Amino acid sequence: MYVYIYDNFLRQPKHASVVKAMEVRLTDYGIAGKILRFNNYTDAKPIIDDEIKRGAKTVVIVGNDATLGQVLSRGATCDCIFGFLPVGPDNSIAEVLGIPIGVEACDVLSKRRKERLDVGWMNSRYFVSQLHVLPSKVEVIYDERFKVSAQDKMEVIVCNLKPFYWKSDPKDKVSRVVHPQDGKLEAFLRPLTRKRWWGYKYEDPSIFPFEEMEIYAKEPFTVEADGKTSKEIKVKIKLARNKVEMIVGRNRKF
Amino acid sequence: MIFQKASPRIALGNSEDLMDGVAEAPNFTDDEVETIVGPSVHVEGDFASQGNIVVKGSVSGSVTTSRHLTVEQGAKITANVKAGSARIAGEVKGNMKVKESLELTSTAKILGDIDVKILTVEPGAALYGKLTMPGVDLGEVKAMRSGRGAGRKAEEVSGVAVV
């Protein structure tokens, strides 16, 4: 049995036609199911657990990167198969998973090509897309072997599924992109150096693939992971292997 | 990472089209760049990687990789280095053990012993230390040092060498 978790933004009229077309396509394939509406304050885990008790085998997330991150970060431990139907903008993870945006995603879902995926573990929660430490004076220890530091502030981005886009200068028209690699988490460190008079300038990023890392600072720093922000003084990040079983497309990038 | 299969299509590239937040396929580089130590970053400790390493900042402790190590101009390594192959354009203070080929560019500065199979040195590179290459019989070297050696298949250099 299929259960569909719709993000709240899909209520907007501009998405109505795509959602309608998807529902028709899913009915054609015979995989239509119960629809649940999801908003920012909903915890996905109890909802998914309830549906599993009622017989759900596949939970399909309908929305964008934020929806996928929000649901999977909570529901990673649930015993079911996850699917994803990307709708609208901000859907860079769909490309990585090989799922086309819009109605064609239903075709991928119907083929049920399953892969076990790794997720990141940060302090006491999972993250699926990206973890972002806003610029602050932090130090990073990798795999308990070596320490990375910068002279001033440093921004840390840990990519799991979501590629990392960056510009060396805000005026740059062309964005650079770093695509996640396989088997490990990737940390991108961007030190900031002071400009001559005021403000900061980003340096080129350092890239370290790792399985375990610790970020710590003397003062609390802000951490964003899958849309959830918190203040931390020490963050331990690990890789949880084969945690989530997900339906992916043939054109996936892994 | 969330991926299980190895993919050679990795790393840094430029994406010119980021319309609607959906990235077009970027220009993947063929080099399997795995670890990059950027400028103004300092790494301290046993820095080891199974993939290629590019150093643009500074490293102290030890550096180990089974694959290619690139030390760019302006980078500084104060550590013993073990690598599959290497290209040095910066400064290395420490002993180097390179399995295959080592390339020293004109801006390279090495203070330490080198153990390598194939060495390429550009004019202007500075080296202070002992150079050891495989295929040299130790007895032959001793004989050469005592002034009796004739043929010199491989070299062992002590002292300052600015090529």
Global ipTM: 0.76
Name the 3-class secondary structure at A7: strand
Report whether A108 contacts A247 (CB < 8 A).
yes
pLDDT band at A26 (very low <50, low <70, confident <90, very high): very high
Q: Which residue has the higher pLDDT, A77 or B95?
A: B95
A114/B contact by beta carbon, under 8 A: no
Q: Do A181 and B3 make contact, defined as CB atoms within 8 angstroms?
A: yes
Distance from CA of B115 to the nearest CA of A (A): 25
Q: Which range, of A6-20, A101-115, B2-16, averages the lowest pLDDT?
A: B2-16
A159: tokens are 């990519």
Phi, psi of A153 (to 5 degrees): -70, 160
Lowest mean pLDDT across A54-63, A126-135, A161-170, A219-228: A161-170
Minimal Cα distance from B51: which residue of A?
A: A209
3-state class (DSSP) for residue A228: strand
Q: Are A65 and A91 in contact (CB under 8 A)?
A: yes
Question: In chain A, which residues have their Cβ closer than 8 Å to the Cβ of B23?
Answer: 92, 95, 163, 165, 177
Give the Cα separation of B28 and B31 in Å (integer): 9
Chain B residues inside the 8 Å CB shell of A242: 4
pTM of the predicted protein model: 0.76
Q: Please, is B98 exposed, middle or buried when counting C-beta atoms within 10 Å of its C-beta (0-12, 13-18, 19+)?
A: buried
Instruction: Determine contact, residues B39/A108, Cβ cutoff 8 Å.
Output: no
On the question of pLDDT at A152 being above 90, the answer is no
CB A216 within 8 A of CB A138: yes
Rounded Cα–Cα distance for residues A185 and B54 (Å): 18
Residue B143, C-beta contacts closer than 8 angstroms, at least 6 positions apart = B149
pLDDT digits over B111-148, tens only?
A: 999 999 999 999 999 999 999 988 777 777 777 777 65
pLDDT (tens digit per residue) in A182-213: 567 888 898 988 877 777 888 888 888 888 89
